[in-house]
Amino acid sequence: MDEASIVASSSARLAPAGVPPLSRRAAGLTEFALAIGGFAIGTGEFAIMGLLPDVAEGLGVSTPEAGHVISAYALGVVVGAPVIALAAAKMAKRQLLLILMAIFALGNLASTFAPSYGSFVVFRFLSGLPHGAYFGVAALVAASMAAPNKRTQAVGRVMLGLTVATLIGTPFATWLGQLAGWRSLFATVGAIAALTVLLVAIFVPQDRVRDGAGAMRELGAFARSQVWFTLGIGAVGFGGMFAVFSYIASTAVAVAGLSESSVPLIMVAFGAGMVLGNIAGAWLADRSLMGTIGGMLVFNVVVLTVFALFASSPVVLFLCVFLIGCGVAVGPALQTRLMDVAGDAQTLAAALNHSAFNVANALGAWLGGAAIAAGYGFASTGWVGAVLGLGGLGIFALSASAERARPAAALREADACA
């Protein structure tokens, strides 16, 4: 089956049951409502990284111990995506979105009033549970409203909320947390999440559950090799960004000789790259989905190699950080690719995309830290990222090869029957 046939088949499965075609304005308002939820999630996920010392002091623990709350959130994402997708397989998408964002709002409001370190870790884990499922279902809803050749751009507009959070939401929340205390971060995120519940209730059209929907159908995703290949590309190939970004503040100071006051500017450069990458990557993917995925993996390997070689130059470091942020262009493409190869198991596959990215987060940060601990220096995170990018390229090559082999095998089988 060629790429055009896969797109047509996927678009037919994505069409929401019981929903009439929406006007451009109605579809835009739906995407806006979903993007606000992404903005809330992105702000809550990234802003805490700049407030860890304040969290540690407020809860009476060390900064490394406070860092465990980030791991607790990521674990919630990895666990929550498949569990919720299976448990809610017979639930209408609009209803599921409302429940997921309500849970996220409550988790963050509970984090605001956490009385102890232990309870705070639990609340961050609970806050992470709806993350992957929300983005997966939101992507399905957005793609279902778009023409077949504009699906990834619709997904990208929803994901724009997440990338804009790194550019605007995270710096603002960090500033607010430093001014009014770290608990204000989670109160703010909880309020934005509550607003999202209202917007989804108003603008996202009511749908009904498709015939035959259920956990067993969703589990069919695990029987599809292309689903595993696509998740592998994200989990390995995307790890390079996190290998570098996790230690970028220390790299800027220790390697490039920059002051700590320049770190927020570096974060802005990274956020700007993510916004541009998200928009450009979605546009490119609607013209060549597999070409965009493969091309961005090569792009990431080159940029990460340049970072490793020339991180001591402040100008090159800023440029590379911006370009590494642009690497997020592969995100909407992988999300759409999962929709195309998942068959009827759309919800589980779409949600698992964000589990894969959180695996990439953990893998990249761990391997980058191991290289630094081994004495190779902070710039070595670029080499780690380049190797992970090559690993992602290898998985991509296997995926493309297997896809080319399928129609050839089917043709041979038809000739034999004739």
* Structure token pair of residue 288: 């060549």
Find where tokens 């964002």 sit. 101
Cβ burial, residue 408 (10 Å; 0-12/13-18/19+): exposed
Q: Are 98 and 61 in contact (CB under 8 A)?
A: no
End-to-end CA separation in angstroms for the chain: 20
Q: Element (H or E) spanning 5, and its range?
A: helix 3-14
Ordered by start, the domain boundaries in the chain are: 1-213, 220-418
Structure tokens, 130: 């709806």
Closest CA to 219 of 378, 36, 356, 345: 345
Going by C-alpha positions, the residue among 110, 108, 276 that lies closest to residue 196 is 108
CA distance 188 to 386: 37
Per residue of the chain (418 residues), give pLDDT as tens: 445 445 444 544 554 544 556 678 888 899 999 999 999 998 988 787 767 778 888 988 886 677 778 878 888 888 888 888 888 878 888 999 999 999 999 999 999 999 999 999 999 999 999 998 898 899 888 888 888 888 888 888 988 888 888 888 877 887 888 888 889 999 999 999 999 999 999 999 887 776 566 667 777 777 788 999 999 999 999 888 888 887 887 888 889 998 877 877 888 898 899 999 999 999 999 999 999 999 999 999 999 999 999 999 999 999 999 999 999 899 889 988 988 888 777 777 778 888 888 888 878 888 888 888 889 988 999 999 999 999 999 999 999 998 887 755 444 443 444 4
State which CATH number among 1.20.1250.20, 3.30.565.10, 3.90.1150.10, 3.40.50.300 fits the domain covering 1-213: 1.20.1250.20
- Cα 357 off chain centre by: 6
Rounded-to-integer distance, Cα 10 and Cα 32, Å: 23
Residue count of the chain:
418
Give phi and psi for 364, each to the nearest 5. Answer: -65, -45
Neighbours of 7 (CB within 10 A): 18
Tokens of 135: 């983005």
CB atoms within 10 A of CB 407: 12
**3 state DSSP class of 23:** coil
Q: How many CB atoms lie within 10 A of CB 122?
A: 18
The answer to whether 109 touches 186, Cβ cutoff 8 Å, is yes
Residue 108 has what pLDDT?
Answer: 95
Return the SS3 of 417: helix
Question: How many Å apart are CA 223 and CA 221, to the nearest integer?
Answer: 5
Count of beta carbons in the 10 Å neighbourhood of residue 303 = 27
Q: How far is CA 32 from CA 6, 56, 196, 408, in A?
A: 28, 35, 10, 43
Amino acid present at 7: V
Judge if 1-213 and 220-418 fold alike in CATH terms: yes
Structure tokens at 242: 């996190």
Beta strand segments in 57-188, E: none
Task: Provide Rg for the chain, Cα atoms.
Answer: 21
Q: What is the pLDDT of residue 162?
A: 85
User: Which residues are within 8 A (CB) of 410 and not within 5 positions of it... i.e. 6 or more apart?
Assistant: none
- On whether the CB atoms of residues 219 and 82 are closer than 8 A, the answer is no
Q: What is the pLDDT of residue 177?
A: 83
**Helices within 311-379 (DSSP H only):** 314-326, 330-341, 346-373
Helix axes 24-47, 93-112, angle to 10 degrees: 30
Contact 263, 170 (CB under 8 A): no
DSSP 119-137: HHHHHHHHHHHHHHHHHHH
pLDDT for the residue numbered 268: 86
Tell me the helix, strand and coil percentages in the chain, rounded to 5: 85, 0, 15
Instruction: Judge: domain 220-418, CATH 1.10.220.110.
Output: no
How far is it, in rounded angstroms, from Cα 312 to Cα 305? Answer: 13
What is the pTM (predicted TM-score) of this model? 0.78
